[in-house]
Amino acid sequence: MYFCSVNALFLSFMKKYLLLLAFLFLFCSFLQDSNMNVSLLPEDDLITLIFAGDIMGHTPQFKAAYNSQTKKYNYDICFQYVKKHIESADLAIANLEVPIAGKPYSGYPSFSTPDALLDGLKNAGYDILLTANNHILDRGKSGLERTIRQLEKRNMFYAGSYIDKNQRDTIYPLIIDSKGVKLAFLNYTYGTNQYVVSKPNIVNYIDSQQIINDIHKADELGADLKIMTIHWGTEYELHSNEIQQGLAHFFVDQGINLIIGSHPHVVQNAEVLYGKDSMVVPVYYSLGNFISNQRKVNTNGGIMVKVDISSKTKSVINTSFLPVYVYRGVLDGVYQYHLLPVTDFIQNPSCFSIGKSDSILLTNFGRETQSRLSNMILFSNSTLK
């Protein structure tokens, strides 16, 4: 597998062969600076996770997904260029920041997105969707419960919101066995905007004692690794705040092995913390937008984070990230919100017929994202099989 720096990948739009030379030149240099070990384990000994950020459902998105001839919605084309990366993982996880609440569909500030979005995500390879976020109650009790039922109908795993206490007690923490390693997924949110959860529904709010109890339960259930996915932070701020950093240290003290954040709608900084026995704990404070209609600088994309876990040592041995730009336009004759992996575009720009302005935006997004995550590793198209 190849992990490389992008210190020079985004310097300019040069011809393809010059970009490839720069890409290869920087391949080895970054390995010396990385604070994580490059994964060289046999495939049978490696568990790979892929995380994505905020999945939004603004009005222009579901209008673009509608086919007036079939009178149906379809999101498959949105994920066609990232699908190979998602499917390469043993488990793929993303933050579902819209309720699947049924008609009438609506965008910001009170979301409800067509059921077909779940089909698109499942077809793309996603296994787990996170539902503890500030928009889960946009359509109240019925919206929360319908979202859960639609996820269950598609046999998709979820974490963060529940119909009642009995359901939560039965399936939370979400524990999935992958190659003999029990992975516990925990999910919490800072709040739910102005909405209050209605009994008997439950939304996992950030509560230190409840989190401690849930971590202990995960341990009792035999979890080998505990993964914290959390909705926190200040929207549009490019750096984590003191509350996020304090919570991250608290989670590490409680034995969490990996922290993945969402909510700010921009990619924030990342770091590596150290827990008991010098355990390495990667912290990605915010993955930004995976797909949305937000077009301002820094909101027009996000990152996919790849996590390598050793099934032998039952530990995180490497993380890397892939910037993904949201291109709103026509590709292959179809107008849609197309997710374009930045490194794939840089290596083969001729495969993506987008205009000059979007090419510049994509390149700038990749460069600025890398500068924010310069202490982490970027993965290239050749990283994943």
Confidence of residue 294 (pLDDT cuts 50, 70, 90): very high
pLDDT digits (tens, 9 = 90+) for 16-53: 333 333 333 332 322 223 333 344 556 678 999 999 99
pLDDT digits (tens, 9 = 90+) for 111-131: 999 999 999 999 999 999 999
Question: What is the overall mean pLDDT for the chain?
Answer: 88
pLDDT digits (tens, 9 = 90+) for 348-379: 988 888 999 999 999 999 999 999 999 898 65
- Pull the structure tokens for residue 190: 């800072």
How do 270-274 and 91-96 pair as beta strands?
unpaired
pLDDT of residue 276: 85
The full set of domain ranges for the chain reads: 43-379
Give the separation between CA 215 and CA 217, rounded to whole angstroms. Answer: 5
Confidence of residue 246 (pLDDT cuts 50, 70, 90): very high
- Kindly state the percentage of the chain with pLDDT values over 70: 87
Rounded average pLDDT over 195-221: 98
Rounded average pLDDT over 278-285: 94
3-state secondary structure 257-315: CEEEEECCCCECCEEEEECHHHCEEEEECCEEEEECCCCCCCCCEEEEEEEEEECCCCE
pLDDT of residue 15: 37
86, 51 in Cβ contact below 8 A? no
pLDDT of residue 40: 52
131, 160 in Cβ contact below 8 A? yes
Name the E strands within 56-168.
66-67, 72-73, 91-96, 128-130, 157-159, 161-162
**CATH class for the region spanning 43-379:** alpha beta
List the beta bridge partners of residue 229.
187, 260
Instruction: Compute the radius of gyration of the chain from its Cα atoms.
Output: 20
Single-letter amino acid code for the residue at 134 = N
185, 204 in Cβ contact below 8 A? no
pLDDT of residue 95: 98
pLDDT digits (tens, 9 = 90+) for 74-91: 999 999 999 999 999 999
Rounded average pLDDT over 222-235: 98
- Pull the structure tokens for residue 31: 């390995």
pLDDT digits (tens, 9 = 90+) for 330-340: 998 899 999 99
pLDDT of residue 228: 98
pLDDT of residue 379: 57
pTM of the model: 0.88
How do 225-231 and 202-203 pair as beta strands?
unpaired
Kindly tell me if the per-residue pLDDT of 309 is higher than 80: yes
Rounded average pLDDT over 279-306: 96
Give the separation between CA 241 and CA 285, rounded to whole angstroms. Answer: 9
Query: For residue 180, what are the CA distances in angstroms to 11, 92, 175, 185, 225?
Result: 43, 17, 12, 16, 12
- Kindly state the percentage of the chain with pLDDT values over 90: 81
Closest CA to 4 of 333, 322, 378, 381: 378
